[in-house]
Structure 1
Amino acid sequence: MSTHENATDDTTDFGFERVRTEEKAGRVREVFDSVASRYDLMNDLMSGGLHRLWKRFTIELSAVRPGQTVLDIAGGTGDLAAKFSKLVGKDGSVILADINSAMLSVGRDRLIDKGALNNISVVQADAQYLPFEDNSIDCITIAFGLRNVTDKAKALASMNRVLKPGGRLLVLEFSKPVSPLLSKIYDTYSFSALPAMGKIITNDSDSYRYLAESIRKHPDQQTLLEMVEDAGFVDCRYHNMTGGIVAVHRGIKG
């Protein structure tokens, strides 16, 4: 089981490496600078298209309604933002936020191509220090981004701060398979096939090796549930998908 970040020293996980805490954001930025242009293609290949179903389920859990404000953190290439744009309608708004400018650039271009920027704003932002007013957001989603955040507890607290009372947080993230056999198959796939695909598609096997490692260092389902509760959320629960390879955690701001 992964544990909360160790607060007694000034290092943190970067995949299976330990790096100085202040170095992690830069190292993660390099990974996503490298893969940004082929990110969606790689997601389709890595998951066999399943990531689209995982995201669809997350959107259903969000219960977003017309006129609301949605913040999609680590929203990268904008696929969730485009869906939320239709749900909130002309009287609502969607904020596509990502710490990585290369990912945001790809996302902005794709949203322009879809004609979906009329109610979407694009903001470069760090999840740990969200630049939004207290109690201003109806729903926050973060899909496959929390594991890359240096201080997850700080980010969850920041999300709680900007949500309106009764607002929803949805964290979609790779997690821990519930079956030992599935776990073994998944490990073999992650550490053999992923870097190989990364090499072929993006000419970058190291970044995909990091992504596989970062999944293993991410808190398991129960640990992350406790972290969401510790950040002040209530009625917290999680849903496993694809045998626990992925889980979506939901919390409500009390």
Structure 2
Amino acid sequence: MSDENTTHFGFETVNAAEKAERVAGVFHSVAAKYDLMNDVMSGGIHRLWKKFTIELSGVRPGNRVLDIAGGTGDLTAKFARLVGDEGQVVLADINDSMLKVGRDKLVDKGFLGNVQYTQADAQFLPFPDNTFDCITIAFGLRNVTDKDMALAAMNRVLKPGGRLLVLEFSKPQNSLLEKAYDLYSFNVLPMMGKLITQDSDSYRYLAESIRMHPDQQTLKGMMENAGFAQCRYYNMTGGIVALHKGTKA
């Protein structure tokens, strides 16, 4: 990053003010086929990553949960069942196309009273201090322009003792796995994107954005700097994905 006014969009250096719009274009393009691509790209393993996230969340009946970059609502649906009629889940996404797909999917499944939908930027969360018992952001933090600002905003809106869970692509822990993963990411993924969504560029950006995201230890340090305590991470699928957890002091 050359200065505070620039940031990364994949491997490109772009004006920081431009990144959100570029990311929005990616997700407008893929929203309708997002769930299908998740299953195809991961061989369905993303469901296990999300299941582990739910298990580690400690969410109980009556809790308030914020699902940032919640997209098509996979985590929101599971949290809505856990919190029950007395609780509330807010599905937040910066992208209105993703939010519409998520809302339609959840309404079709019968989730009505305890789910709300908010178009919001993770850096500028439109909620009062100390609102939520748990916040999740799954495969969304790497797309945020200022990750430190977003983590501070998450800390602000969590209740004391509340948990943040960040599920994100990370750095493989084995050099052979890393080589195979690079081959897959930069060759197979864009081809899948072209076949399924008629958009290879968005999936090339996905591969590049993963490589530019902070590694496990760096992200843990960023969470601690944002005021989170008891921070730790769990590598899954050899570190291709990591789940970070922290608690608001």
Q: CA deviation at 1:163?
A: 0.1
Superposed, 1:214-233 pairs within 5 Å as 214-233=209-228
Match of 1:3 in 2: none
Instruction: After TM superposition, give the deviation of residue 70 of structure 1 in Å.
Output: 0.2
- Residues 47-102 of structure 1: per-residue CA shift (max 9 Å, x gap): 00000000000000001000000000000101110000000000000000000000
**Which residue of 2 is the match for residue 64 of structure 1?**
59
Counterparts of 1:61 and 1:98, CA distance in 2: 22
Q: Which runs of 5+ in 2 are unaligned?
A: none
For residues 87 and 137 of structure 1, the distance between their equivalents in structure 2, rounded to whole angstroms, comes to: 15
Classify the secondary structure of the residue corresponding to 1:126: coil
Matching residue of 1:44: 39
What is the CA–CA distance in structure 2 between the aligned matches of 1:122 and 1:218, rounded to whole Å? Answer: 27
Question: AA paired with 1:142?
Answer: I
1:86 aligns with 2:81: yes
- Return the offset for 1:118: 1.8
Q: Alpha-carbon deviations, 1:92-126, whole Å to 9, x = none?
A: 00000000000000000000110012200000000
1:1-254 paired onto structure 2 within 5 Å? 6=1, 8-254=3-249
Partners of 1:166 and 1:19 in 2: CA distance: 37
- The aligned amino acid for 1:152 is K
Q: How many residues align?
A: 249
Quick one: which amino acid aligns to residue 186 of structure 2? F
SS at structure 2 position matched to 1:199: helix
Supply the RMSD in Å over aligned alpha carbons.
0.7
Letter matched to residue 156 of structure 2: R
Q: Give the distance between the partners of 1:68 and 1:224, measured in 2 at CA.
A: 26
Distance in 2 between residues matched to 1:27 and 1:52, nearest whole Å: 27
Once residues 246 and 182 of structure 1 are traced to their aligned partners in structure 2, the CA distance between those partners, rounded to angstroms, is 12
- One-letter code aligned to 1:27: R
Distance 2:29 2:41 in 1: 17
Q: Structure 1 CA distance, aligned partners of 2:150 and 2:2?
A: 15
Give distance in 2, aligned partners of 1:45 and 1:212: 15
Following superposition, the deviation at residue 178 of structure 1 comes to 0.1
Moved over 2 A (4+): 6-9
In the TM superposition, residue 8 of structure 1 has moved relative to its aligned partner by 3.3
Aligned-partner residue type, residue 198 of structure 1:
G
What is the one-letter code of the residue matched to 1:137? F
In 1: Cα distance, 2:71 partner to 2:160 partner: 27
Q: Distance in 2 between matches of 1:64 and 1:25?
A: 30
Aligned residue for 2:113, secondary structure, equals coil
- Give a deviation string over 1:158-198, Cα, whole Å, max 9, x none: 00000000000000000000000000000000000000000
* Identical columns (%): 72
CA distance in 1, matches of 2:204, 2:143: 14
